[in-house]
Structure 1
């Protein structure tokens, strides 16, 4: 037999997802690439590893046994790498972080330098909605989470990274004709909301409630990127985090509409359970952030104070 670790990794992912499409998505490969590797792997066995029933892919009993062995081989191969790095006195293992969706504009810059220093560390970063971030904390699946609003149901430690500022934005071509900065302007504008449970939405709704406004809700969308594209297309206005609007503001695709009380401000925070025993990797990362936070902000977010 002449199988490769790459083929083993693909077959294990297929066993976990029961789908070539989903395996391709999770491995960031094309479906044809997955199918070819599966065929090449199957060609090394006389007994079928998979079968298709009603257009769905299933592993045979033999396939499940091979998948279990494949996991063991992959784990042993990783152990070899870890032992080599440990012998050289380097950190190795996984750093797991859960990030609210807008945090994807923040977190990579607070990770890149640390990852460059420690080649033996594997980063697992889940960019998801706020509820999933809370669920990850509940089930102790991550070392840290990045949020802009603290979940109050936990006893947490936190480290503030940088401000999160939210402004009212609109399409540059759709002028509001405003003569004052009165928040009452929102009553006249079609507004675009994030989905329920979003931290951005909760801050927007609080601002509207604090100003005792009755507003028009035109759209509800499930990602910051979708809201941004809708605003750019002229479908409405929204209160959005500045962090994801750099290029659109500099290119005049979007404009900030000044209102009294804006921007709304909360800090981006790295959070973790007070009772969690941090791994050597997690502790090293926390130390790195504490020592380099100011430099990272200066290098990558100097533009932030222009607005």
Structure 2
């Protein structure tokens, strides 16, 4: 396998992550035929197929599953080498990979824009996933820093709170709950709920709230993104618990309203998380300090804190 290239390994890991050639191509800014060609060349070098392809369905072969373990180790080692070089170059240049839960994409990119104005030589990559996905990426050294609302108790991480994170119940303006004023938690029983997928921090907060109040929500829909949930709630298909930091436009336009429910908003914290075993590069350390210093003021100005 002496002819295997880093480009082929990166393409292989991307396809293995998504199990979809088109999505991997989009992530790598390549065309699907270019991704297919890289995988074919890699399989030629390996001498065995790495993927099973049945129509549009793609899955790893046994060889592919084993090869993925070593491919990730290679990329993680290369990232460590890049970080070492960045420390010699100081903070003016380097690359950061930042992971964030989907709820954080409403405020991390604009904050990152301010950071990049001060550090134009720093290259930044963003990845979005639910909490469980980010923890796996941290463990595999695929991200330097992660922004999430509930850090891990299992991984040895440094988790630093940087801002309050209020979550609220929302409905369409003409939903029955919206006309009742302040209501006890029991008033939520019997209404349809639209919820995030298992593994997301928002879903965990909702389940904890209902457990605290001895309720079992009637889940009518389960969705993997805040935007689709908001659209369903605006269509009066149910009620949802969402981060206040996702609702700026909808609340200001009157398309959604906050339902005034007992023990809400549910207040959590936003955290910057990194593995304790990982030595952060100067650019990553600079972004970490930037978020700890500026994020709370930004969120307060943009969204308010209840």
Q: Work out the CA distance in 2 between the residues paired with 1:198 and 1:217.
A: 15
Cα contact 2:168–2:258 (8 A) shared by 1: yes
Q: Distance in 1 between matches of 2:216 and 2:42?
A: 59
How has the CA–CA distance of structure 1 residues 15 and 262 changed in structure 2, closer, same or farther, with 3 Å as cutoff? closer
- Find out whether 1:156 has 2:157 as its counterpart: yes
State the partner residue of 2:301. Answer: 302
Which residue does the alignment assign to 1:44?
Answer: none
Q: Give the deviation of 1:96 after TM superposition.
A: 1.4
CA offset digits 1:244-302 (Å, max 9, x no partner): 11000000110101011000011111011233222222222233334x41xx5445641
Shift of 1:198: 1.1
Unmatched 5+ stretches in structure 1: 1-8, 39-48, 52-56, 65-74
Find the aligned partners of 2:12 and 2:207 in 1 and give their Cα distance. 43
Pick closer, same or farther for the CA change 1:14–1:141 going to 2, 3 Å.
Answer: closer
Structure exhibiting the larger radius of gyration computed from Cα positions: 1
User: How far does residue 204 in structure 1 lie from its aligned partner after superposition?
Assistant: 0.5
SS of 1:58 mapped into structure 2? helix
Matches within 5 A, 1:256-295: 256-290=258-292, 292-293=293-294
| Matched positions, count | 259
Shift of 1:15: 7.1
Structure 1 pair 280/215, CA: closer, same or farther in 2 (3 Å)? closer
- For 1:236, the equivalent position in structure 2 comes to 238
For the residues of structure 2 that align with 1:23 and 1:186, how far apart are their CA atoms? 41
C-alpha change, 1:11 and 1:100, in structure 2 (3 Å) is same
- Report Cα offsets for 1:184-223 as digits up to 9, x if no partner: 1110211111111111011111111111113321111111
TM-score by length of 1: 0.72
Residues 285 and 182 of structure 1: is their aligned pair in 2 closer, same or farther, counting only changes over 3 Å?
Answer: same
Name stretches of at least 5 consecutive residues in structure 2 with no aligned partner.
1-5, 47-77
Cα RMSD after superposing both structures: 3.3
Paired residues for 1:129-144 under 5 Å: 129-144=130-145
**Partner of 1:194 in structure 2?**
196
Residue 71 (structure 1) aligns with: none
TM-score (norm 2): 0.72
Residues 74-153 of structure 1 correspond to what in structure 2 (within 5 A)?
86=89, 91-153=92-154
**SS at structure 2 position matched to 1:205:** helix
Which whole-Å CA distance do the structure 2 matches of 1:258 and 1:140 have between them?
Answer: 42
The 1:178/1:133 distance shift into structure 2, 3 A limit, reads same
